[in-house]
Homo-oligomer: A and B are copies of this chain.
Amino acid sequence: MSNKPSIPKGTRDFSPIEMARRNYIFDTIKKVYKKYGFQQIETPAMENLNTLIGTGGDESDTLIFKILNSGDYLKKADEKALNDKDSNGLTRSIAEKALHYDLTVPFARYVVQNQNDITFPFRRFQIQPVWRADRPQKGRYREFYQCDADIIGSNSLLNEVDLIKIIDDVFSELFQGKLNYKVSFNNRKILAGIAESFGVEERLEEMTVIIDKLDKIWIDGVVKELEKKSFSTEISLFIRELITNSNPFDLLKHKFINSEIGLKGIEELEYIRTTINQIGLINKNVIFDPTLARGLGYYTGTIIEVKVENFPSICGGGRYDDLTGKFGLKDVSGVGISFGADRIYDVLLDNNLYPKFEGDSTQVLFTNQTGNDEEVFLPMLFKLRDAGINAEIYPDEVKWKRQMNYASKKNIEYIVSSNFDGELFVKKSDNQDKIQFKTAEELITLIQK
């Protein structure tokens, strides 16, 4: 094989500068998570297929990358499926493992498996890649990172408040006040209350999925779809009113007179609204949006979503009441958020919001020219490194121009050289003047000042 090599569709390599930017995002999120008492865990990339299948709905199942069993896998293959060439039917018998497609299901599995060692409420964060056999397109990858924080084993709405504040801390730091973002929150119980008030409780999920499209097809599209699916005109009118009304809380309260779940939703929302005001969260950034729906099936309480202009959601989350039930641990409530690192990456890049990553790369290059450089510079080089300065020597005696090109491409700030009289010089890349020095200690002082 001597064709130019490539990588699978929807996957990416990350170059040094891309890594520096990504690490900046991860480190910022990680620092904030820790400040809020979250502890990091990691789960394997591979889970048993049984753990993943059937959690996120049928659509998710087809998005799961399955791993072929090792060895003579056809020996245990389902005979009938093999003869029928039934790919779907065959899969489970030849692929027992799969790559996780989110961090929520592995977390639920982890909690149940380690329930005797975990002290609840458990505040965990997890930053790992996930894999989805989605059709790749701009901004949608088959391998991408999620940065999740969840609190499991506590019903308190203080957890919601913490998570909203975390979102605000992270984006305050990443956007440095130069980019607006909107944190919307709602409660699934509001949607349940609407469904109940209009006598369509049993169609809640269907209704939620349609309302979830508001961003894409706007209110007219939603109304059209609601009517096409034979929801009553009253519902459509109410949704339309809800969007335009300046005081949706009152409108909902009035509507929920006979809906216990709706009123519970209002109560929860009001607690959150009051508390985030109390801790000084800027109101124009964090707003109640009664039509926020979020597609995922497992949410049962608060839902949260963060947007900036011209981008899809960059962070989202919510409360779920039974995520661990599938694995045999019932009635454990949790709430969590997930930052989409790849979209945040693009947002920062498009808005020119990355800091300079100077300390991250080499600071000092010792050039290699005169035949004596290696002997003179090597002990100095190691002294600089011991002093915590990122430094290197050009390993080969090649043309000056090539060494300078290397320094420039790597953004190296200081260039150290010698002349044939054995005099030593250091030059800052953005400055014409060479400064003469004699010892490593002098050089360190010059650089650190």
A contacts, CB < 8 Å to B:
1-8, 11-16, 19-20, 23, 34-37, 39-48, 50-51, 54, 62, 65-68, 70-75, 77, 82, 85-88, 90-91, 94-97, 99, 109-110, 112-114, 117, 119, 121, 123-124, 129, 131, 133, 142-143, 151, 154-156, 158-159, 161-162, 165, 169, 275, 278-280, 326-328, 360-362, 374-375, 378-379, 382, 385, 388-393, 395-396, 405-406, 409-410
Contact = CB atoms under 8 A, between A and B. Distances in A.
Contacts of A47: 7-8
Contacts of A77: 85
Contact of A19 (B40, B129, B169, B328): B40
B378 A275 contact: yes
A156 B1 contact: no
Most B-side CB within 10 Å, residue of A2, A35, A66, A95: A35
Given A82-B82, A275-B378, A388 B35 contact: yes
B42 A13 contact: yes
A77 B431 CA distance: 63
Contacts of A275: 378
Nearest to A97: B8
Contacts of A12: 44
9 contacts: A2-B326, A4-B327, A4-B328, A14-B41, A45-B45, A67-B67, A121-B406, A154-B395, A158-B378
Given A6-B48, A328-B2, A389-B35, A15 B114 contact: yes
A90 B279 CA distance: 61
A199 to B, nearest CB: 34
Nearest to A383: B279
A62 B70 CA distance: 8
Contacts of A74: 85-87, 90
A16 B39 contact: yes
A27 to B, nearest CB: 11
Nearest to A374: B158
A377 to B, nearest CB: 10
Main secondary structure of the interface of A (DSSP, over half): mixed
Contacts of A50: 1
A68 B44 contact: no
Contacts of A360: 34
Count of this chain's copies in the oligomeric assembly: 2
Contacts of A19: 39-42
Given A34-B390, A35-B389, A68 B70 contact: no
A384 to B, nearest CB: 9
Contacts of A13: 41-44, 110, 113-114
Contacts of A48: 5-8
B44 A392 contact: no
B5 A405 contact: no
A158 B393 contact: yes
A125 to B, nearest CB: 10
Nearest to A50: B1
3 A-B pairs closest in CB distance: A37-B392, A156-B395, A16-B39
Contact of A87 (B73, B117, B162): B73
B65 A67 contact: yes
Contacts of A73: 87
A270 to B, nearest CB: 15
Contact of A14 (B5, B42, B51): B42
A351 B143 CA distance: 38
Given A11-B44, A65-B70, A68-B91, 13 more contacts: A4-B112, A5-B48, A5-B112, A6-B113, A7-B47, A13-B44, A19-B39, A19-B41, A23-B40, A37-B362, A119-B405, A156-B395, A158-B393
A328 B121 CA distance: 55
A388 B35 CA distance: 7
Contacts of A390: 34-37
A37 B143 contact: no
A323 to B, nearest CB: 12
B6 A129 contact: no
Contacts of A385: 35-36, 169
B70 A67 contact: no
A1 B158 contact: no
